[in-house]
Amino acid sequence: MNVNINDIKNGMTLILDGKLVMIVDFQHVKPGKGPAFVRIKYRDLKTGSTIEDTFNTNLKLEKAHVDKLPMQFLYKDGSNYVFMNTEDYSQMEVDESVVGDNAKFLKEGLEIQIQMYNGTILGLVLPEKVEYEIIETTDAVKGNTTNNAQKDATIETGYTIKVPMFISQGEKIIVTTADGKYSSRA
């Protein structure tokens, strides 16, 4: 299916020069002189590299149909992560190279989506915010009254993040998966 370059959106998957890409960012530019153009920042889904390019506004692009399978994380087995399809209960193993940085947010029972294109796993889509339990943190330093004082805390996946001083071990917090930062108490 073809799509006009003026109708693209962030997160859309396209086939560009024979490569499967995902739109990261785009900007319509109308200079004072000359024709308008579109500046697109996209990620090559095979290599993971991010590329920026400009295109004419009359260009038609081929849209790639990417399946998003609803999955639940079960456990890690060696270098593979095991997921279960929440619709038909089949299991799928995903190599840690595909999981990448998302591994630090995977906890047992977490519901995610796995993106697939022609039978190839492209990657994982995590929920925007996830609740985690603090398993280890240092005590607040008495007298530290600086604005936005923070300390290290380890969440149940083993990932260490910065949290406000008032958060203690055993508490549940909300973490934004896009940047890996503390959002709020649960």
pLDDT at 146 over 70: no
Which residue among 125, 148, 172 closes a domain? Answer: 125
Q: What is the CATH classification number for the domain harbouring 80?
A: 2.40.50.140
Tell me what the pLDDT averaged over the chain comes to: 87
171 burial (CB, 10 Å; 0-12 / 13-18 / 19+) is middle
Helix and strand element counts for the chain (H, E):
1, 16
The answer to whether residues 7 and 58 belong to one domain is yes
The answer to whether residues 79 and 53 belong to one domain is no
pLDDT in tens, 50-92: 889 998 888 888 888 888 899 999 999 998 999 999 999 999 9
Confidence of residue 140 (pLDDT cuts 50, 70, 90): low
The answer to whether residues 59 and 8 belong to one domain is yes
Name the residue type at position 142: K
The answer to whether residues 163 and 178 belong to one domain is yes
The answer to whether residues 52 and 84 belong to one domain is no
Residue 100, domain extent? 67-125
Q: What is the CATH classification number for the domain harbouring 36?
A: 2.30.30.30
The answer to whether residues 112 and 84 belong to one domain is yes
The answer to whether residues 46 and 82 belong to one domain is no
The answer to whether residues 6 and 56 belong to one domain is yes
Report the pLDDT averaged over residues 31-51: 86
The answer to whether residues 118 and 152 belong to one domain is no
Which residue is associated with the tokens 């071990």?
A: 169
The answer to whether residues 51 and 71 belong to one domain is no
The answer to whether residues 77 and 98 belong to one domain is yes
- Total number of domains constituting the chain: 3
- What's this model's pTM, rounded to 2 decimal places? 0.71
Which own/partner pairs from 55-59 qualify as long-range (CB within 8 Å, at least 24 positions apart)?
A: 55/5, 56/5, 57/5, 57/6, 57/28, 58/5, 59/4, 59/5
The answer to whether residues 74 and 101 belong to one domain is yes
